[in-house]
Structure 1
Amino acid sequence: MICLVGAGPRGLAVLERLCANHAGENELVIHVVDPFPPGSGRIWREQQSPQLLMNTVSSQVSQFTDESIDCSGPIRPGPSLHGWLQSHDSDADQGRRGPDDYPSRRLYGRYLRWVFDRVVADAPDTVRVVVHRATAVALEDADNGQCVTLDDGNRLAGMDAVVLSLGHSDTELTGKERQLAGFAERHGLRYFPPANPADLDFDKIDAGEAVGVRGLGLAFFDVLALVMEGRGGRFVPSDKGLRYRPSGREPTLYAGAHHGIPDYARGRNQKGVAGKHRPRFLTADAAHRIRENPEATFRRDVWPLLDAEVRTVYYQALVAQRGGSSAASNFLKDYLSEPDDPGTLRRHGLTASDEWSWERLGQPWRPHEFSDHATFNQWLLGHLREDIGHAEVGNVDDPVKAALDVIRDLHKEIRLAIDRSGVIGSSYRDEVIHWFTPLSTLFSAGPPPLRVEQMAALIECGLLQVVGPEPQVRTDPTGACFLIGSATIPGKQIRTTSLIEARIPKPDLKHSANPLLCFLVETGQCRPYHIPDPDGAYESGGLDVTPRPYRLIDAAGVPHSRRFAYGPPTESVFWFLNETIRPGIGSMILEDADAISRAALTC
């Protein structure tokens, strides 16, 4: 018997691979444990607002193996989300059915539920799947195998193998968050801690209420959807772009983020299903060479190669935009022979103002002076419209969007270089977690362009104001409100009676609120992952596991031969685990699932 704890896309992938790899006449019983529906799990459950969108187009989302998957198990193809939409009627989301459309999350959840039903229906006769709509709270070894205890009192005993595919979990509040939550409780205010916005009850917020929001990433756009359209407002097209027609039930939002701007919109997809940039500098061989250096750092050894990839694509696309494909081909030959020579750019008609600048993209407000929040928002509207314009051109033809999409395309190569202590601990902490990951999210993991258009419409109608970069939140000494402002934009701090932390909590094993992870920590059956460093190892918040097939390692450093874990709880062992399964590019999730399932079947 095998127990899968967590039945979102990763757990579903292991289930499918168990069924595909099971051979012989012996009965295999697979227990699937999740309080949410199997397949969709918590994040993609069907019972959520239709306003919440994915940030990946439907043709680039799948749950099935294909010939690009490097695995030992059999390949069992199936339809992508877009392919499934073409053959399955759905009353909802009728306008989001194209291959390059961004479907709702609940529609993706419906697809995942269908995949689960298909996997179970197509399973060999010797496989039986038992679903438990409950939460696992304990896991222990016993004489007859492992025992999983559920919060409904059931005990699943005699498990030969247990796979933890827990996905994102809630975490305990930090010191500052606890202070803000306590302040809100004492004074009758509302504080919404870091969480998936779909899990929060925004109905408590009054119409017309002033609400502070920290964060301008994907969670922020979810908040916008839930408290604006979700309360009956409508976006309508006009000759000047989208306009918002309020229902009268909306609050007024005052938002800010460290960079002062929202995540950049995804460019219109011109790469089809599996198109991606092929690296010239940050290749697999280069990544392996980086790993051979025990003192490698991200900024010194990885970043220059990624930077070279981005600049090359940007300049090539810019030359192509102005002079055509032949001019771009000639430029590329010259540039690759002397990439550091500014003269190459000048010979091909590129000026100093054309040169790539991370600083200009990351802090585009820097050259400007703002007298107050209103002037900053006027500038921001121009910035948003410029970003929308770039996105409409596409992720191949537009130089900026083509360049930024390189970061997304090279996730695999970045992982090859830095996963499992590829760089020293202090570099991973300071340069990957605190610098590069937020930067890559800002540039390449942003929302559909529609969301940026909607943001601009809400600023114009007065229901949204961005306070500026480096937001500061204080509590009013009288207890009447929160105060939110910007460290860089002049003006009075704004008084709000609700505060929303618009971000998903980062995985942190020692501060996890997941009851099973808490139990494993308390009983010494798992430990945080440590990354070696000359000045002392860095203790990350990730769950320590062996190399693939990811056996769980206990507090004494001993791997459990029949217990496996993968996905978000192992963040820092592996980098950036928030992706969906994309067809045609050798999805790491599916390759991992195949290795885990084959190892579990031998237990």
Structure 2
Amino acid sequence: MTETTSSIKVAFIGMGPRGLGALEALVESCASSGRPIEINIFDELDLGGAGPNFDPVQSYLGLLNTPLRDVEIKPVLDLPCGGFQDWLKGQGQPDRDHFAPRSKLGSYLQRRLHDVMDTYKTNLTVTFHKAHAVSLHQCGAAWMVSTEDDDYGPFDEVLLVLGQPRTAIDKQWEAWIDHAQDSGACCMQAYPDRHVLAAAKGWANRNVGIRGLGLSTFDVLRYLTVGQGGTFKNGTYQKSGAEPARIFAFSLDGQPPFPKPVDAAHDDHFTLTKSEADQFAVALHGAATHGPERALDLICGVLAGPVARIGSNLGADFDSPDVREWLETECSSAGDQEAGDPVATLKHGIDMADGTVPPTVGYVLGQIWRKLQNELRVGFNSAPASAETAKAIIDFDEGLKRYSYGPPLSSARELLALIECGQVSLAVVDDPSISLIEDGWRLSDDAQATVSVMINAVLPPPSLAKITDPLIAQLRSQSLLCELYEGSGAKALPDGQIMNSEGDCSKGLSLLGRLALGSVIAVDSVHDCFGASTVRWAQGVIHRRQTP
């Protein structure tokens, strides 16, 4: 096989961090041959490299969920911007334990995209189309992309890097929107933040409900408090008077997530030895070849010892059998181990995060699991697991996110301060009964509350069946996209090539990221955007563009 010297023509549908990572990987793969690359980017948002999640103009109140010390996304290309840490040094880098605004990372990612295009412009041509791609069709061996106004192509390859595309509204939220329109109440999504920040200026005398108690809720709480002029000082909250009268958060399980360790020194306690990490990799590789029950048993079996060891080092009184019992419950009914008072759970999580009390089994396991995310991707994303086994491992990972994807400790402390001053209430937090009333909603749990504003802080799952984006809908209708299992994302190969309902690939059509959840794992991280999946995709492009 010999490579041709003709240009590789690729259409990127979307250009957030994952699109940037794929572009860098493709440039790197073509660097040695000097083969020209022609890129056409279709994205209706002018946020190249950053995407809406890291929009550089969003409020500073939206924080990364990873401390600066762990944001390791150094480019493989030689770029003037360097890595994120390098770029921050020129701007007065804060301490390594700091959780920076997402907008800061977005500014860096936009600069990084600019540097890629400028540094490699000899062999790289990039054309931006500020338009929404609505359909694809094949033209011989190539692909055409259609927007609402025009057709483009032909392209050798099309890469779908859509992030979170348009998704069907769930029935509860749809009913609430209709009720708000009829009653004068208000329904809003948590993002974009500017909408909440602006609307909240008129909510000083209104009670607000927040649907969800995950990471997005902590953002919303800052929008409604600090964003309205309030301040946190010495562990207390000082009201400005412009905040909503009261804020009621609620979720299906009624439990707050557990915060991350306070600093690098405490976080280091949860690091596996090299031998333990290697054993996990071996167990994960073996798990992929078994059915779901045996797969989870292998994974849990290799984790029990390290969890007990680390717990003992930190003063905990559980042993390996206790860990196995906890894991058995987790595999059958994730979260049933935490059923206490939510404020007590919040306080306990804070104490474990700052190291003032010994950690529980769940806390130790969650921090270990967070540190194994890259090993998890490496072992899972390239493994030939059955749909049933893939679902079991995905569900296990999703369940542990209450620990592994917890908020910064500072955010948990802010929530506690808001509860203690009466600004936030968890009185109706546990899956309350919700009824429509004349001017809003009544929430009933052990107590009752009425609200006239509802904010949705529950992000839609990456379920292929619920996507309403016209491009995805078209590909599904033609059976070019199909679920791996019910509720999953698209079925795809490790290099991103999409598999149709017959199990075949459409040459040149690939997908990376959240919409492939099930075929891949641990996608909700900026690290995954620049990981091995993008490299496999780029190498696949080169291989497919070779000729005899």
TM-score interval (norm. to shorter): 0.7 to 0.9
TM-superposed CA distance for 1:470, in Å, is 2.8
Q: Distance in 1 between matches of 2:296 and 2:97?
A: 34
Q: Please list the CA deviations of residues 203-259 of structure 1 after superposition, one character each: whole Å capped at 9, or x if unmatched.
A: 34522211122211101101101111112222222xxx2333324243421112234
Gap runs ≥5 in structure 1: 67-73, 323-330, 343-354, 368-375, 531-538, 582-586
Structural RMSD (CA): 3.6
- Say which SS state the counterpart of residue 283 (structure 1) adopts: helix
Paired residues of 1:59 and 1:81 also in contact (CA < 8 A):
no
AA of the residue aligned to 1:16: E
Q: Please list the CA deviations of residues 60-114 of structure 1 after superposition, one character each: whole Å capped at 9, or x if unmatched.
A: 2243346xxxxxxx88897332221102x3xxxx7x7222211000001011011
Paired residues of 2:65 and 2:99 also in contact (CA < 8 A):
yes
TM-superposed CA distance for 1:48, in Å, is 0.7
Q: Distance in 2 between matches of 1:497 and 1:362?
A: 31
- Say which SS state the counterpart of residue 97 (structure 1) adopts: coil
Paired residues of 2:255 and 2:430 also in contact (CA < 8 A):
no
Q: Distance in 2 between matches of 1:595 and 1:423?
A: 18
Deviates more, 1:283-292 or 1:560-569: 283-292
Question: Where does residue 535 of structure 1 map in the other structure?
Answer: none
Instruction: Summarize the Cα distance change of 1:251–1:516 in structure 2 as closer, same or farther, 3 Å threshold.
Output: farther
Q: Please list the CA deviations of residues 288-340 of structure 1 after superposition, one character each: whole Å capped at 9, or x if unmatched.
A: 22222245455544334334432332123327xx9xxxxxxxx9xxx8xxx44
- What is the percentage of aligned positions where both structures have the same residue? 20
Q: Which of 498, 514, 530 is matched with 2:469 structurally?
A: 514
TM-superposed CA distance for 1:8, in Å, is 1.1
Deviates more, 1:553-562 or 1:300-309: 300-309
Q: Please list the CA deviations of residues 175-197 of structure 1 after superposition, one character each: whole Å capped at 9, or x if unmatched.
A: 3332333233332322335x645
Q: Distance in 2 between matches of 1:578 and 1:232?
A: 31
Alignment of 1:273-312 (within 5 A): 276-278=271-273, 280=276, 283-294=280-291, 296-297=293-294, 299-312=296-309
Corresponding position: 1:227 with 2:224: yes
Q: Distance in 2 between matches of 1:5 and 1:187?
A: 39
Q: Which of 166, 169, 186 is matched with 2:165 structurally?
A: 169
Q: Distance in 1 between matches of 2:138 and 2:419?
A: 57
Q: Distance in 2 between matches of 1:526 and 1:421?
A: 20
Alignment of 1:568-583 (within 5 A): 568-581=514-527
Question: Where does residue 326 of structure 1 map in the other structure?
Answer: none
AA of the residue aligned to 1:4: F
Q: Which of 419, 424, 427 is matched with 1:467 structurally?
A: 427
Q: Which of 258, 269, 276 is matched with 1:264 structurally?
A: 258
Q: Which of 545, 549, 558 is matched with 2:492 structurally?
A: 545
Paired residues of 1:44 and 1:109 also in contact (CA < 8 A):
yes
Corresponding position: 1:243 with 2:244: no
Q: TM-score, normalised by structure 2?
A: 0.84
Corresponding position: 1:504 with 2:459: yes
Paired residues of 1:317 and 1:402 also in contact (CA < 8 A):
no
Q: Distance in 1 between matches of 2:36 and 2:382?
A: 36
- Say which SS state the counterpart of residue 18 (structure 1) adopts: helix
AA of the residue aligned to 1:593: T
Q: Which of 198, 222, 225 is matched with 2:193 structurally?
A: 198
Q: Distance in 1 between matches of 2:482 and 2:327?
A: 43
Q: Distance in 1 between matches of 2:266 and 2:24?
A: 26
Instruction: Summarize the Cα distance change of 1:65–1:85 in structure 2 as closer, same or farther, 3 Å threshold.
Output: closer
Paired residues of 2:281 and 2:375 also in contact (CA < 8 A):
yes
Question: Where does residue 510 of structure 2 map in the other structure?
Answer: 564
Q: Distance in 1 between matches of 2:356 and 2:160?
A: 39
TM-superposed CA distance for 1:172, in Å, is 0.4
Paired residues of 1:311 and 1:356 also in contact (CA < 8 A):
no
Corresponding position: 1:60 with 2:60: no
Corresponding position: 1:41 with 2:51: yes
- Say which SS state the counterpart of residue 31 (structure 1) adopts: strand
TM-superposed CA distance for 1:10, in Å, is 1.0
Question: Where does residue 6 of structure 1 map in the other structure?
Answer: 14
Q: Which of 400, 410, 414 is matched with 1:450 structurally?
A: 410
Question: Where does residue 247 of structure 2 map in the other structure?
Answer: 253
Q: Which of 519, 536, 539 is matched with 1:595 structurally?
A: 536
Gap runs ≥5 in structure 2: 1-8
Paired residues of 1:172 and 1:512 also in contact (CA < 8 A):
yes
Paired residues of 2:311 and 2:358 also in contact (CA < 8 A):
no
Instruction: Summarize the Cα distance change of 1:555–1:198 in structure 2 as closer, same or farther, 3 Å threshold.
Output: farther
Paired residues of 2:14 and 2:41 also in contact (CA < 8 A):
yes
- Say which SS state the counterpart of residue 137 (structure 1) adopts: strand
Corresponding position: 1:28 with 2:24: no
Deviates more, 1:223-232 or 1:307-316: 307-316
Question: Where does residue 146 of structure 1 map in the other structure?
Answer: 143
Q: TM-score, normalised by structure 1?
A: 0.77
- Say which SS state the counterpart of residue 510 (structure 2) adopts: strand
